[in-house]
Amino acid sequence: MKRLILMRHAKSDWSAGEDDHGRPLNKRGTQSAPAMGEWLRAQGWIPQEALCSTATRTRQTLDLLGFDGLPTRFERGLYLADARDMIACLQTASADTVLMVGHNHGIADCAHQLVADWPANPRFMDYPTCATALITFAVDSWGDIAPGLGTCADFAIPRELMTG
């Protein structure tokens, strides 16, 4: 069994004056990421490895989740990657529970392709900032994953966690 935590970066600050790759999180983003980290711990989903885009906002999201010491590969290829490239990167993972932090539209497309059945949450369609899907695969190796083989065990967005 392999478990994927597929997370879009938290809300970024468009007014920061940085180029897209260097854009940091805004105040809401710095509150959302820790809330998602707490939610993951409450669900019992503790990543053993992270695959993260090299963009500032993905790095900050990962840091704010609170999984100190998590073995992480920062992958330039995940910056604005499409679903195919994200799946190819995931197929190189080695741990049983992997956290991937990336960007839309690729992250939403990746989630949509990997799972056979979508969760009931209507926000799964647009995958807002810091949205997180917990996906399981009944495979022995990440190299064996393919579109449609995953089961979405849960899906959450920070706004729902922080208000309800």
Domain of 89 in residue numbering reads as 2-163
Determine the pLDDT at residue 7. Answer: 98
17: left (phi over 0), alpha (psi -120 to 50) or beta: left
Q: What would the pLDDT profile of 13-57 be if each residue is shown by its tens digit?
A: 988 778 889 999 999 999 999 999 999 999 999 999 999 999 999
Residue 163 has pLDDT above 80, yes or no: no
Q: Which two tokens stand for residue 137?
A: 């695969």
CA distance linking residue 161 with residue 164, whole number of Å: 6
Q: What is the mean pLDDT of residues 127-133?
A: 97
Q: What would the pLDDT profile of 150-161 be if each residue is shown by its tens digit?
A: 999 999 999 898
Cα of 27 vs its chain's centroid, Å: 19
Q: What would the pLDDT profile of 56-103 be if each residue is shown by its tens digit?
A: 999 999 999 999 999 999 999 999 999 999 999 999 999 999 999 999
**Domain count along the chain:** 1
What's the whole-model pTM score? 0.96
13-27, 92-106, 119-133, 138-152: which has the minimum mean pLDDT? 13-27
CATH of the domain at 36: 3.40.50.1240
Half-sphere exposure of 146 (CA within 13 A, CB side): 1
Determine the pLDDT at residue 164. Answer: 54
Spatial CB neighbours of 133, under 8 Å, sequence gap ≥ 6 = 4, 5, 6, 7, 111, 115, 119, 124, 152, 154, 155
User: Measuring CA to CA, which residue among 26, 129, 9, 3 is closest to residue 65?
Assistant: 9
